[in-house]
Structure formats: structure tokens, C-alpha cells
Amino acid sequence: MKLDTRDKKPKIYSLAVLSACAVLALATLALSGGVKLLAWGNTVLALYFGAAVFLLADAFRKQIQYNLYSYNTILYAGFALFALFLFLTHVYAAIQGFLYPAEYRTLQMLFTLLNSAKNYMFLTSPFLVLFSLALFVSNLALIRHEGRRFVNVLGILLALALILGELLIAALDVYSAFSERAVLARNLTVNLMAAFYLYFECMIVGAITADLLAARYVPEKDKDFLIVLGCGLKKDGTPTPLLKGRLDLALAFDREQTERTGRQAMFVVSGGQGPDEVQSEAASMRDYLLSQGVAESRILVEDKSTDTSENMRFSKEKIDAVRPGGKAAFFTTNYHVFRSGLKARRVKLRAVGMGAPTKWYFWPNAAVREFVGLLTEHRLKQGLVLALLAAVYAALTVLAYR
């Protein structure tokens, strides 16, 4: 699938309309009553969540075509999977309701919805266990190769939090309470924790999907500018293996584009000088490109940036000074492509990325750091979605137990 082929941002307003129709249909069924109420109610919910899967999947596809590097890409991918789980749950409940109407009560439909977050969490626990083990093992290898630093144990901390969170919710779920108020408090706590857990699990699944798509994407061979993002130097001022991988990837892309189309792009080397570096990252990258036979006239040097946001903003200024609106691709390490693309779009730079490979044990921990960074940059959206989930599951809990 090609990126940047759609000019209009996808919207999911139709999901709100669909939700209102589902609520209206359920209210009508509740007023009509009848022995088949549970079966028909679950049928309505199955149709609703089936349509939600389609709408979210379609929005995900269109979002990739419009802008892969977006928080919405993660959101649509993660919650499409949860909607699929709810669709299958209510299909099963509807079938049971039609086959055995006398054995099912209307309240059970409410409990099916109420327990959806908890059941989804327990159903997907094998994935989370494997994911946590992979994080744990890769971080042990990272510590062995890179040393004991706090950033190198982030994966271990996340793995422990995931496992302990599941164990805590499972323990609370089987805890026996002896009063109505205690039962309500216990179930409210379990359901709210499961809702929060559900949200972050959907975000993890969505982030993995988006990261893999971004890292594996190969841009079209029609670029005017190739931006190489800096990432630190050796003590002698030469590129580290990580930075060299980015440069070599850009060089290979340039050679292939020239062979196919005869179109030569300009390189934009982007990176300032750190306090422990003998020269700027941009200067080191320029020297490396020169040693590989790239003409100096084809290299633009951006040596003022200190982070990815500035990489993109200052690189755009360099590009606009030469050819405003020129087509650009950026080159970084595979785990960093998605978030780098997000930074580019924030400064109105419509560039697509390509990721250089890195050592296997480095990817998971780096991906966790990127994931945490992405979530903290979207605090408002995080808060709104979490508040909505909490409100829905709190209301369902109170309604079911009152």
C-alpha cells in the first residue's frame, strides 16, 4: 500500500451515528420485552460491533494512505481488534439465546458487556506473557552488551508491570466480598482496572502494528531529498555503527533511484554537536558521504538540531530554501521510523521514512521508549479515551449491581 495517496483525513463520525442507532434499538427491545429479548439484544450488539470492526479497519486503511505517522493509526488498529472480540462474543451469546431462551436472562447481556474488558484481557494473556518474556530476555541481552543503565531496564519494568497487573486483577476477581457495598466496590475496581489495561493493551498492539508497517515500508523512487537523522558519534568523530547503518541505507536508496530513473537526490545530513562530540553529527555524516563518492554539491548540512523535532524542522528549512515542496524521504533506525514521521508531519514536512536494521536485542527496549514517548506526547487524547472507557465500565457496573 502506498503512502500519501489520499488528501482527506479519514473520519469515524459514522461510528457515533451507529452507536446511537444501536442504543435506540436496544431501548426499543427492552420496552417490548419477550422471551427472545436476550437473543435479539445480542444480535443487535453483534451487528453493531461487526460494523465497528469494518469502520475501524477501513479508517485504518485510509489513515495509512493519508498519513501513516499518526496517533490515529495506533488507535484504529488496536480497537479494531477489541471490536472483533466483542463481535464474536455477542454472536456466540445471540446463538445461545435463540437455542436456549428459557435459560438466559436479560441481565446476562449486560454482564456480557460489563465483563468484556476483563475477558479480553484474560483471553489475550498468552500474547502478553510472550510479549513480556520477549521484553525481559531482550533487555537482559541489552544490559549484557550495553551496560546497566536505567533506560536499558525499561522493558523489564514494563514486562513486570504487565504480568503483575494481570495477576492483581485475577486475584481481585476471585476475592469474596460479604456485603453488597463490598461486592460493588470490588467489581467496580476490577472493571475499571481491566478497562485501563484494555486500553493500553490495544495501544501496544496498535503501536507494534504501526511500527512494523513504518519500519518495513520502502518509499517510492522519486525523491528530491534524502534526510539522514543523526544519532551520536564515536570518540574520534566518525559515525557509530547505528549511524553508519542509516547512511548506508540512504546511499543504497540513492543508487537504486539513480539506476531506475536517472534522478539524483540531494542528501540532507541532520544533527548538531553534543557536549561529548568532537564535531557535529552532520559534519561527520558529510565526511562519510564524501568518502563514498557523493559530490559535496549534493549534500546539505544541518548542524543545529538537538532532537528529532529539530531535525525535521531545520531540515525542512534547508529543503524549502532549495526547492519548496520537494519530495523527501528520511532515514533512521527501524524502531524510530514511526515517531520520526510523526515529528515530520508536525512541521508540515510530508516525508516518508525508511528504517535501517539494528541488533535484535536493541529493538524491543527502544520500541518501548518510543511507545512511552508517543503516549506522553498525546496526553489529552489519552485522557479523553481513558475517561470515556472508565465512564462506560463504571456505569455498566453500577447498573448491573444496582
* Residue 56: per-residue pLDDT: 95
Q: What is the pLDDT of residues 275-323, one digit of tens each?
A: 888 999 999 999 999 999 999 999 999 999 999 999 999 999 999 999 9
Backbone angles phi, psi at 266, to 5 degrees: -95, 140
* pTM of the predicted protein model: 0.84
Share the mean pLDDT of the chain: 87
* Residue 308: per-residue pLDDT: 93
Listed by start position, the domains of the chain span: 1-114, 123-216+361-402, 225-358
Does the pLDDT at position 215 exceed 60?
Answer: yes
Does the pLDDT at position 259 exceed 60?
Answer: yes
* Residue 8: per-residue pLDDT: 87
Does the pLDDT at position 2 exceed 80?
Answer: no
> What is the percentage of the chain residues whose pLDDT exceeds 70?
96
Does the pLDDT at position 120 exceed 80?
Answer: yes
> What is the percentage of the chain residues whose pLDDT exceeds 90?
45
Question: Is 225-358 assigned to CATH 3.40.50.620?
Answer: yes
Q: What is the pLDDT of residues 128-151, one digit of tens each?
A: 888 888 888 888 887 877 777 776
AA identity, residue 57: A
* Residue 193: per-residue pLDDT: 87
* Residue 198: per-residue pLDDT: 84
Q: What is the pLDDT of residues 13-72, one digit of tens each?
A: 999 999 999 999 988 887 876 656 788 888 999 999 999 999 999 999 999 999 999 888
Q: What is the pLDDT of residues 147-178, one digit of tens each?
A: 777 767 777 888 888 888 888 888 888 776 66
Q: Is-contact 355 332, C-beta < 8 A?
A: yes
